[in-house]
Amino acid sequence: MNSLIRLTTTALLCGLMSSLAYAGSGAVKDPAGVAPNRYAYYPGTEALKRDEIRVIACGTGMPAARRGEAATCWLVELGNGDKFFFDLGTGSMANVAALMIPYDYLDKVFLTHLHTDHWGDLNALWAGGWTAGRTQALKVWGPSGATPEMGTKAAIDGFMKTYRWDYVTRLQKLSAIPGKIEVTEFDYRGENKIVYDRRGVKIRSFPAIHSGDGSISYVLEWKGYKLVFGGDTLPNKWVIKYAKDADFVVHECFHLPEQMVEWYNQAPPVALYVATQIHTSPQAFGKIMSTIKPRHAVAYHFFNEESTRYAIYRGVREIYNGPLSMATDMMVWNITKKGIRERMAVSPDDAWAVAGAKPPPMGKPGQVPGQLSKEMKAGTLDVSEAEGRMVQEYMKKYKLDPKMFKKGKK
C-alpha cells in the first residue's frame, strides 16, 4: 500500500470532517531544520505518555480482503505498555508486521465474532509470532455461540486441529509454550460484563445483533478513558446504552446496497439484506453517533476509496455532524484528555520482526519424535561440499557444537 498517496486523498476528505488536520503545524525556521509537528506517524519512533492511548487500524475493509485494505483489525496500545488486538481479520497481519512491534508484546486478541474477516489472520499471528520471537502462549478472548460448537473455544480447538501439521513439525525445534493458544470464552449475552481486568484495564462486552447469536462489542476502560470496538451488528440498543459518552467509538458503517451490487457482485435483494439486515448503513451509523455523542467516532467496514467514500460520508452526515474518521488501513489515533489526533502511518513494506526484551525460548530436545520417515530421509541429496564452509563459519560465529547439527539427523 502506498501510504503517502492514501494520506493525500484521505486528507482532502478529512478536512471536511473534523478539526483533526493532516497539515503539519509550526514553522521550519532553518533550511537545514525539520518540521516540528509531523502529520504522519512513523511506527516505532514515538513513546506513549503514561496516560496516552494509540489506536492503529490494521484492517478496515471487507471479507474479500485486498492488498490495499485488509479485513477488520484494531491494535490498541496503552501508555502502561499493554497492547490489545480487537479482531484480527484476513490480511491484517501484513499491516501489523509493518508496525515493527516485537511479537512478544502482541499476545492478546479479543474477537468480536467468528466471521473470517474478523479472525482470519489468527494463523499468521499464531505461527508467525511463534517463529519470530513470542515467548508466551497466545491468548484469545471471544464470545460463546448459540451452541457450544458455535463458540470461540470450539473454534480455537478446531483451529489447532486444522493446523496440527504446522504445530507438530515446528515443535521439533521451537518451544511448545508460545505455540499454545489460551482461550477465554464468555457468554455473548453478557451486558457490560467484565471479561478482562488486569493492570488497571477493564474490558467489558455487550451483545451485537449480526447474522447469528455470538457477535459482541467491547468496551475498554483505562484511566478514565472509554473506548468502544463494535462487533458487526444491526443498530442495537446496547450500543446506545453502553457506548454513551465514550471517548472513541469504532463502529461498522457498511457499504450502501448499490455499492455491493455494482462492485461486490451481490444480487440486488442479497445486497439490500446484507447492507441493512446484517450490517449498519451509513445513515444508521449517523443515528447511533448522533445519539451517543462520542468524543470521536470511527466508521469502517467498507472499501474506502474515491468511488465509495463520498456517498457513505454523505449518508453519515445526513444525521451526524460530530468528530468522525472514515477509517482506512494504517490510520492512527493518539488519544489524550486534551484531544484526539488522527494521522496516517508511513510504514515499510519489508519490515522484519523486531526483537523484544526476552530471548526466544528453545524447544526441549525430543519433545516430539522426528517427523521425517526413513523413506523421505533416504532421498536427501548430499550438499555438504557446497555448504560445508558456510555452516562451519556459522557454527564458529555462534559457538555451536558441530555434533548438534548433522545433515539429515533431526
Closer CB to Zn ion, residue 69 or residue 232?
232
Closest approach, Cβ 410 to Zn ion, in A, equals: 42
* Nearest distance from C-beta of residue 168 to Zn ion, angstroms: 32
Q: How far is the CB of 129 from Zn ion (least distance, A)?
A: 23
Binding range to Zn ion, per CB under 5 A, among 42-50, 115-123, 218-226, 255-263: 115-123
Q: Which of 77, 107, 117, 247 binds Zn ion (CB under 5 A)?
A: 117
Grid coordinates standing for 149? 460448537
Residue in 6, 54, 108, 115 binding Zn ion, rule: CB under 5 A: 115
CB of 369 to Zn ion, least distance (A): 41
Nearer residue to Zn ion within complex by CB, 107 or 117: 117
Question: Of 144 and 334, which CB lies nearer to Zn ion in the complex structure?
Answer: 144
Handedness of CA 29, 32, 36, 37 (dihedral sign): positive
Which residues between 174 and 203 bind Zn ion (CB under 5 A)? none
Name the minimum Å distance from CB 89 to Zn ion: 7
Least Å distance, CB 202 to Zn ion, is 25
Q: Which stretch binds Zn ion (CB under 5 A): 138-146, 226-234, 266-274, 340-348?
A: 226-234
C-alpha cell at 152: 470461540
Report the C-alpha gap between 69 and 374 in whole angstroms: 46
121 binds Zn ion (CB under 5 A): no
| Strand partners of residue 88 | 73
Q: How far apart are alpha carbons 154 and 144 in whole angstroms?
A: 9
Q: Tell me the closest approach of the beta carbon of residue 74 to Zn ion, in angstroms.
A: 13
| Terminal C-alpha separation, the chain | 40
Q: Which stretch binds Zn ion (CB under 5 A): 102-110, 117-125, 172-180, 347-355?
A: 117-125
Nearest-angstrom CA–CA distance, 406 and 145: 50
CA 378 to CA 374: how far, in whole Å? 6
Rounded CA-CA distance 164/123 in Å is 12
Q: How far apart are CA 389 and CA 393, in angstroms?
A: 6
Stretch of 109-117, 124-132, 289-297, 343-351 lying at the interface with Zn ion (CB under 5 A):
109-117
The least CB distance from residue 118 to Zn ion, in Å, is 6
Cβ proximity to Zn ion, 6 vs 251, nearer residue: 251
Interface residue with Zn ion among 77, 104, 213, 232 (CB under 5 A) is: 232
Rounded distance between C-alpha atoms, residue 44 and residue 101, angstroms: 7
Segment interacting with Zn ion (CB under 5 A) among 114-122, 130-138, 238-246, 394-402: 114-122
Element (H, E) at 394: helix 384-397
Taking CB under 5 A as the binding criterion, the range among 3-11, 27-35, 112-120, 142-150 that sits at the site for Zn ion is 112-120
Cell output for 147: 451452541
Reported in sequence order, the residue ranges of 233-349 that DSSP labels E, i.e. its strands, are 248-252, 296-300, 324-326, 331-335, 340-345
* Least distance (Å) between residue 287 CB and Zn ion: 20
Q: Which is nearer to Zn ion, 301 or 343 (CB)?
A: 301
- The one-letter amino acid code at 19 reads S
> Using CB atoms within 10 A of its CB, is residue 402 exposed (0-12), middle (13-18) or buried (19+)?
exposed
From 11, 20, 15, select the one nearest 296 (Cα to Cα).
Answer: 20
CB-wise, 77 or 232, nearer to Zn ion?
A: 232
Question: Which CB sits closer to Zn ion, 52 or 117?
Answer: 117
Q: Are 143 and 185 in contact (CB under 8 A)?
A: yes
Q: Max CA-CA distance within the chain?
A: 73
Q: Which residues bind Zn ion (CB under 5 A)?
A: 115, 117, 232
